[in-house]
């Protein structure tokens, strides 16, 4: 059977941007900026994206398209009978780890969306807002039900395949997503006192910078670009041979970063305009924003819009995580896509239930001092992804033949490849050294 493919440049782009733009931009980025010194964090983040992550995006695409295989088999083809395919296996495990907490947040989003739709025409009660979040996330059953609904949405799309599923739905949802975040940003910037939020995002406070902050910025750059676990290897394997991988990687990184900044500009001004601390942490978008929506004209309408944005962003990202495992299982075991997705979804539901319960009933069960929810988040973003990224650059920079890499970089010589030398230098030296340095500094401290 012929392997499914994306239809062309725009098709791949919406899908990869869909994967990249997610809760990482809307939920994780703003609260990390808040906790880690505002603009200083943003600057370090941008440097990581451009210098280190962009070349890694290209590297993942190269591995994927060269082999037209899932994240594990790709390494088995390029490096037969070596342990390199462990990168792919760890990637598959990371996908579970990320989905374990990500789908729970997706569930909260559905719950909020549902409630803001119900209250669309009534006056919200501000005093209720605070307690709402805690009561939702700590309750044992309700968030799990919403999480299951959320997982079913994603499973449905992935079951439909690449062109007729992932690409088709991304094409519909992504343009809408960008339009809505711009509208929301304008609303937020027009609030009295919004400038303070903008200042916070652009004026660096370097005294807040330490190794933890640098690691958080690196982890966030990986997380936001869906890097380091084979997601882009998998998507890359569906990219038609004629498409330019560099252009694709560049537009993906730019769109993702642009979206993070738009999200920051939609959220921070509102936070500051209402005199709220930007250091709220993970509850920022669920506690603080509804409180703001409750106090602005047409707030209910904007609340609905915000939670639709969050939902779309989350869905187009989770489908990419689901696809990593689905591609692996279907190609490895030779089973039908629908069956594979069903099995995976059940497993994800099990992991997600634990991380959901760890917000309430199981909050005293700690792994390395963290609740299961925080543990999955920390383990995947700050450890597994940078480590995966390190091995991927080592693989492309030092294991693969330079001619192989060059071939794929230039579509077998059809493109000029002017930037090849710079790219190759970064993945051979700069990226590995930078990632190791950040880790070492953290361990030795
Ligand atoms: N990048 C997505 C976000 O910002 C999350 C995501 C999707 C992801 N696929 C990934 C993160 C693969 C790491 C690896 O929300």
> What CATH code is carried by the domain that includes residue 212?
1.20.1740.10
Measure the CA–CA gap between 392 and 50, rounded to whole angstroms: 17
∠ CA 336-96-155, rounded to 5°? 45
Q: So what's the pLDDT on residue 442?
A: 67
∠ CA 408-12-80, rounded to 5°? 40
CB 215 within 8 A of CB 293: no
Query: Has residue 1 been placed in a domain?
Result: no
Measure the CA–CA gap between 209 and 92, rounded to whole angstroms: 33
From ligand 1's centre to the CA of 19, what distance in Å? 6
CB 236 within 8 A of CB 60: yes
Q: Which of 104, 231, 378 to mutate to test the pocket of ligand 1 (most atoms within 8 A of CB)?
A: 231
For 439, list phi and psi in degrees, rounded to 5: -65, -50
- Ligand 1 pocket by Cβ (under 6 Å): 19-20, 22-25, 98, 223-224, 226, 229, 231, 317, 320-321, 385
pLDDT at 445 over 70: no
The string of DSSP letters for 172-220 reads: HHHHHHHHHHHHHHHHHHTSTTTHHHHHHHHSB-GGG--HHHHHHHHHH
Identify the residue with better confidence: 224 or 1: 224
From ligand 1's centre to the CA of 292, what distance in Å? 28
Could you identify the atom of ligand 1 that is nearest to the CA of residue 314?
A: 15
Query: Has residue 3 been placed in a domain?
Result: no
From ligand 1's centre to the CA of 91, what distance in Å? 12
Quickly list H helices, 119-167: 126-138, 142-159
CB 249 within 8 A of CB 226: no
**Atom 12 in ligand 1: residue holding the nearest Cα:** 226
Measure the CA–CA gap between 119 and 428, rounded to whole angstroms: 55
Query: Has residue 2 been placed in a domain?
Result: no
Q: For 237-253, write each residue's pLDDT tens digit.
A: 999 999 999 999 999 99
From ligand 1's centre to the CA of 224, what distance in Å? 5
Query: Has residue 142 been placed in a domain?
Result: yes
Q: So what's the pLDDT on residue 215?
A: 82
In percent, the amount of the chain with pLDDT more than 70 equals 96
Residues near 175 by beta carbon (within 8 Å), at least 6 away in sequence: 14
In the chain, the number of structural domains is 1
Q: Give 174's pLDDT tier (boundaries 50, 70, 90).
A: very high
Query: Has residue 70 been placed in a domain?
Result: yes
Q: Give 340's pLDDT tier (boundaries 50, 70, 90).
A: very high
Query: Has residue 272 been placed in a domain?
Result: yes
Q: For 265-312, write each residue's pLDDT tens digit.
A: 998 898 888 888 777 766 778 887 888 888 888 888 888 999 999 999
CB 33 within 8 A of CB 194: no
**Range in 232-241, 330-339, 363-372 with the lowest mean pLDDT:** 363-372
pLDDT at 32 over 90: no
How many Cβ atoms sit within 10 Å of the Cβ of residue 97? 24
pLDDT at 121 over 80: no
Q: Give 386's pLDDT tier (boundaries 50, 70, 90).
A: confident
pLDDT at 444 over 80: no
Closest CA to 201 of 146, 269, 138: 269
Provide the residue range defining the domain that includes 421.
9-444
The continuous run of DSSP H or E covering 370 comes out as strand 370-371
From ligand 1's centre to the CA of 93, what distance in Å? 14
From ligand 1's centre to the CA of 22, what distance in Å? 7
**Atom 10 in ligand 1: residue holding the nearest Cα:** 226
Q: So what's the pLDDT on residue 7?
A: 95
Mean of all residue pLDDT scores within the chain: 91
Q: Which of 22, 61, 95 to mutate to test the pocket of ligand 1 (most atoms within 8 A of CB)?
A: 22
Query: Has residue 30 been placed in a domain?
Result: yes
Query: Has residue 139 been placed in a domain?
Result: yes
């Amino acid at each position: 059977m012929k392997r499914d493919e994306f239809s062309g440049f725009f098709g791949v782009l919406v899908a990869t941007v869909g994967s990249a733009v997610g809760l990482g931009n809307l939920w994780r980025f703003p609260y990390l900026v808040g906790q880690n010194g505002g603009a200083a964090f943003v600057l370090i983040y941008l440097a990581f994206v451009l210098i280190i992550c962009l070349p890694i995006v290209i590297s993942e695409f190269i591995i994927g398209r060269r082999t037209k295989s899932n994240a594990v088999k790709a390494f088995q083809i390029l490096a037969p009978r070596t342990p390199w395919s462990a990168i792919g296996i760890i990637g598959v495990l990371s996908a579970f780890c990320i989905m374990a907490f990500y789908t729970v947040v997706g569930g909260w989003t559905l719950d909020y969306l549902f409630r803001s739709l119900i209250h669309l025409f009534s006056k919200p009660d501000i005093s209720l807002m605070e307690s709402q979040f805690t009561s939702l996330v700590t309750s044992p059953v309700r968030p799990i039900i919403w999480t299951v609904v959320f997982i079913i949405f994603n499973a449905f799309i992935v079951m439909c395949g690449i062109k007729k599923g992932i690409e088709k739905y991304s094409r519909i949802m992504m343009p809408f997503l960008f339009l809505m975040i711009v509208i929301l940003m304008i609303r937020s910037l027009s609030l009295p006192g919004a400038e303070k939020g903008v200042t916070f995002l652009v004026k660096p406070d370097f005294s807040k910078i330490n190794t933890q902050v640098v690691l958080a910025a690196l982890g966030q750059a990986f997380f936001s670009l869906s890097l380091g676990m084979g997601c882009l290897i998998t998507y890359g394997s569906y990219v038609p041979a004629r498409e330019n991988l560099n252009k694709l990687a560049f537009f993906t990184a730019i769109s993702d970063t642009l979206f993070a900044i738009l999200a920051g500009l939609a959220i921070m001004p509102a936070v500051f305009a209402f005199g709220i601390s930007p250091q709220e942490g993970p509850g920022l978008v669920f506690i603080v924003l509804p409180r703001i929506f409750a106090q602005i004209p047409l707030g209910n309408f904007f609340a609905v819009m915000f939670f639709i944005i969050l939902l779309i962003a989350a869905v187009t990202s989770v489908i990419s995580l689901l696809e990593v495992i689905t591609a692996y299982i279907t190609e490895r075991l030779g089973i039908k896509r629908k069956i594979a997705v069903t099995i995976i979804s059940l497993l994800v539901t099990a992991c997600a239930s634990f991380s959901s319960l760890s917000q309430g009933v199981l909050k005293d069960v700690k792994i390395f001092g963290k609740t299961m929810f925080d543990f999955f988040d920390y383990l995947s973003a700050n450890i597994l992804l940078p480590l995966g990224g390190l091995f991927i650059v080592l693989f492309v920079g030092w294991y693969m033949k330079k001619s192989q890499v060059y071939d794929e970089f230039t579509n077998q010589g059809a493109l000029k490849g002017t930037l090849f030398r710079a790219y190759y230098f970064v993945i051979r030296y700069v990226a590995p050294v930078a990632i190791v340095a950040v880790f070492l500094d953290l361990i030795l401290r």
